[in-house]
Chain A
Amino acid sequence: MKKVFDLIDLDCAHCAARMEDGIRALDGVVDVSVNFFTQKLTLEAEDADFDKILKKAVKICRKIEPDCTVVIK
């Protein structure tokens, strides 16, 4: 499953790259991109664990950039 999420207040390109690296290292992640310019997180992961992986991904984002929120629809 592949889903796109908006990121609010992602302020630094450097942090975006670090978020991407961090999420990529998670188990079950097929592909991920954190795009600073479009302020979007694209996450592709195994269907069964998607929600669990997403939760971990959000945690990583908050750790790197505490002001940035991932919009989960």
Chain B
Amino acid sequence: MTQKHKKRLFRILAGALLLLAAFLGDAMLGEHLAMWQTLLLYLPAYLTVGLGVLKRAAQNILHGQVFDENFLMALATLGALLIGFLPTGEAEFAEAVFVMIFYQTGELFESIAVGKSRRSIATLMDIRPDTARVIRENAPVEVSPDAVAVGECIAIYPGERVPLDGTVEEGISELHTAALTGEALPRSVTVGDAVFSGATNGGGTLKVRVTKPYADSTVARILSLVEGAAAKKARSEQFITRFARYYTPFVVISALLLALLPPLFSGAFAAMLPLWLSRALTFLVISCPCALVISVPLSFFGGIGGAARRGILIKGAVHLEQLALADTVVLDKTGTLTKGGFSVTKAVPCGVDAQTLLTLAATAEQQSSHPIAGALSAAVTTELPPLLDTKELPGRGVIAKTAQTTLAVGNLHLMEEVGAVPLAPPEDGTAAHVAQNGCYCGYILIADTLKETAAEALDDLRAAGITRTVMLTGDRENTARHVAAALGIDSWRAELLPADKVLEVERLLSEPRRGTLAFVGDGINDAPVLARADVGIAMGALGSDAAIEAADVVLMDDDPQKIATAVRVARKTLRIVRENIVLTLTVKAAALLCSAVGLLGAWQMPVAIFADVGVSVLAILNAMRTLKK
């Protein structure tokens, strides 16, 4: 509770005591007092709790903003105070004060709840580093991160947050990136590795050379994305804003009609006016739209904050809404479902053992820059013999000489050239055939492998309610068919150029659908597709600027299971928003109807206040659920 909250609480309690005193005074002396004397009895209590509201209402009217809740409350309570002076009106002094106390209590509670939820969202995003320890003249100096220049060195002690992006100069440690990527496993870093601001240093002291100014660092970009996200309003949010603009004047006019029309038509205007006036005042209190105006943006922000906590950046409420409505997910293959690099999947030796086959191939390819060479050298751990000579034959392979032997590694054409008799591999993928001194030794299959979690990711998507999955790839048809079959993808298109992918997504967009279409890519050459889809999701974006720019949703690591997580968070958020809209409108509509026909009797003011402030508090509490997992 802040100082301001305490002050407000004190005023409410004081007002309640004064009301009690006035009520007792009224009960004892009431019969001897004139109406204005009774009013004086209650006035101290009323002003203690209500002066702030009256002042605010007056100020707003002077500023030309007539229709707000202060105005409604002032009108309702002043009306109740004065209604007793009408010839047939019954005094409602106690009611007026009571309504004001109830309203202020609700407001206080609402303010505390909003403040609490705002703070818990803010702590979710508490990855901002406060200081950086820059090394100047061989001694560490603590400065603000934005005062460190590119090229300077900073020291990061165990347990501290990495303040700026850079590369490790000295030291070995483990970095916890959970706050950035949602990934629980720490990454180990050593000299030469890149570190990202916002991560927490686990084990050892690191000396890091800064590569980016603070304003361009990972943490500054994430924060500005998430903070900016609230500004891109969702359709349901815009609806609420527009709604509130027309709603309040509409309600005030309706209340006026409710006060005047029934008495006019009843024939006894003066006799009926007080009754309908008090109903109209209740109507005004109920109709306040604050529950919607507060809870809807709060829900969206909570959803965005909760997703950020799990390493999913959603760039605006509008994108969260689109994602929640998705029923089709289009996935790029390479880098999204597969690891995007080549690795050895199988060695089929012929006359030698498998290990020898791999060593021979790696020996021949050790100077090559072909992607296959990387896969081969990664598959071998032993020391390789030096090469005397090596010749790359484009489109065929490599011929290399060591001190003992001549090696040929390549495709079937190369085998024929060197006089070897190769096997025809039945498997899919790229095969590297190996021959030693013209004798065939076998082949090695090299393929882009599926990510470990790819199959589960697709299952998760279906469980989250995605009814259609489509895979697009520039790869060959055979490979695409295998990947699609292994993952249970509904349909796929292969051998697409980047421009074809755009056309394909446009074709899918033009088909009649119920939901929206999300495209998931690694952000490297699919920026146009990311932009074209209803929601563009880029993966593995930690450190990749292009992806962060192009996408609507950014997954901070490259785990495809995060796609379904993002969809679930978005759906839950939108569900909560809708719950709040329905709850608020239902309670208000019911209370409005009851008060208009006078069903509530003496209870009408308390019920009215509940329909206003009570519903706001319920909606705020419900909005808070967006933060939970």
A: residues with CB less than 8 A from B are 9, 11-14, 17, 33, 35-40, 63-64, 66-67
Contact = CB atoms under 8 A, between A and B. Distances in A.
Contacts of B122: 37-38
A66 B56 CA distance: 9
Interface string B214-241: 0000000000000110110000000001
B153 interface: no
A4 B590 CA distance: 44
Closest 3 CB pairs of A and B: A14-B293, A37-B118, A37-B301
A62 B608 CA distance: 30
Contacts of A17: 241
Nearest to A38: B227
Contacts of B231: 33, 35
Nearest to A60: B63
Nearest to A66: B59
Nearest to A9: B4
Given A13-B294, A38-B227, 16 more contacts: A9-B2, A11-B111, A13-B114, A14-B244, A14-B294, A33-B231, A35-B227, A36-B230, A37-B118, A37-B122, A37-B227, A37-B301, A39-B118, A40-B227, A63-B63, A66-B56
Given A11-B114, A13-B297, A14-B290, A35 B2 contact: no
B118 A12 contact: no
Nearest to B289: A14
Contacts of A9: 2, 4
A67 B2 CA distance: 13
A14 to B, nearest CB: 5
23 contacts: A9-B2, A9-B4, A11-B111, A11-B114, A11-B115, A13-B293, A13-B298, A14-B244, A14-B290, A14-B293, A14-B294, A17-B241, A33-B228, A33-B231, A35-B231, A36-B230, A36-B297, A37-B121, A37-B122, A37-B227, A37-B301, A63-B59, A63-B63
Contacts of B114: 11-13
Contacts of B56: 66
Contacts of A39: 118
B118 A36 contact: yes
Nearest to A10: B118
Contacts of B63: 63-64
Interface residues of B, number: 23
Contacts of B115: 11
Contacts, number: 41
A71 B241 CA distance: 28
Interface secondary structure of B, over-half rule = helix
Max chain A CB contacts within 10 Å: which of B231, B241, B293? B231
Nearest to B295: A13
A35 B114 CA distance: 14
Contacts of A40: 227
A33 B228 CA distance: 8
Contacts of B290: 14
A39 B241 CA distance: 20
Interface in B1-50: 2, 4
Interface in B260-293: 290, 293
Contacts of A12: 114, 294
Contacts of A67: 4
Contacts of A13: 114, 293-294, 297-298
Contacts of A11: 111, 114-115
Contacts of A38: 122, 227
A36 B111 CA distance: 13
Interface in B108-128: 111, 114-115, 118, 121-122
A63 B56 CA distance: 10
B289 to A, nearest CB: 9
A42 B316 CA distance: 18
Contacts of B227: 35, 37-38, 40
A35 B121 CA distance: 13
Contacts of B59: 63, 66
A37 B230 contact: yes
A4 to B, nearest CB: 10
Interface string B38-74: 0000000000000000001001000100000000000
A38 B120 CA distance: 11
B403 to A, nearest CB: 66
Contacts of B228: 33
A71 B230 CA distance: 22
B445 to A, nearest CB: 53
Contacts of B4: 9, 67
B117 to A, nearest CB: 9
A67 B118 CA distance: 18
Nearest to B244: A14
B339 to A, nearest CB: 38
A25 to B, nearest CB: 14
A66 B114 CA distance: 18
Contacts of B241: 17
A39 B391 CA distance: 65
Interface in B584-629: none
